[in-house]
Amino acid sequence: MQGGAQPTGMRRLGTQGSRSKELVEARKALFDATHGSEKAEAFREAVKRNRAQVEHARRNTALVLHPVKHARYLGKWDMVTSIALIYTATLIPFEVSFIPPTLGAAAWFEGWFLINRLLDLVFLCDLGLSFFVAYEAQARNGGAVWVVHHASIVRHYLRSWFALDVSTLLAPAAFDFYIASDAGASELTNLSVLRTVRVVRLIKVVRLVRASRLYKR
């Protein structure tokens, strides 16, 4: 060999090796670009799902009142409810036993009737508030956890105290409004029938079970 020139076969082998290396690098770049875009798309989808979950959780907890975080406001309302319960426990039986009822439209100007309507308003507001107050549930580890998901709070209240709260509110109020109507005034002339109807108002005393919820809260 003259002048250190390489054989033709070696030059061809070097050229093929260089081309093979370029082909491998091109395939690797194409693979990285393809899978890199897939990973980027998967990451963007994960971010979207996470944002949607955060927004959904925010909407479902925005109106929820936490007994610990909102103890100041719930405590004041519980005082109002406690006063209403004390009145129910003490004066409702006295009223039903000893205070003669006022029939017809005149009942709307009678103090006992108006106080009962005020109590109904308090318990109605408390009923509505119960749909937004977090409740305590047992955790898997045996401890306790506050449930702040609004839909879960609604389902829990409908399955637990809702029926009792509605019955102790609507049933006595319906009889009171009937007594205060013209139809009730004309039909409830029989004293024994009137006393029987008035006893229904004692259903309000069942509201005292609310005290257990107030104490727990």
Write out pLDDT tens, residues 190-199: 555 666 666 7
Res. 13 pLDDT band, cuts 50 70 90: very low
Q: What percent of the chain has pLDDT over 70?
A: 65
* Look-up of token digits 């036993």: 97
Answer yes or no: are the C-beta atoms of 148 and 79 closer than 8 Å.
no
What was the pLDDT predicted at 115?
93
Higher pLDDT, 92 or 20: 92
Q: Average of pLDDT values for 68-84? A: 89
- Per-residue pLDDT tens over the stretch 119-139: 999 999 999 999 999 988 887
**Whole-angstrom Cα Rg for the chain:** 38
For residues 113 and 106, give the distance between their C-alpha atoms in angstroms, rounded to a whole number: 10
Q: Average of pLDDT values for 165-184? A: 85
Question: Model-level pTM?
Answer: 0.69
What was the pLDDT predicted at 83?
92
Determine the angle formed by the axes of helices 150-159 and 162-179, rounding to 10 degrees. Answer: 60
Res. 20 pLDDT band, cuts 50 70 90: low
Tokens of 55: 């927004």
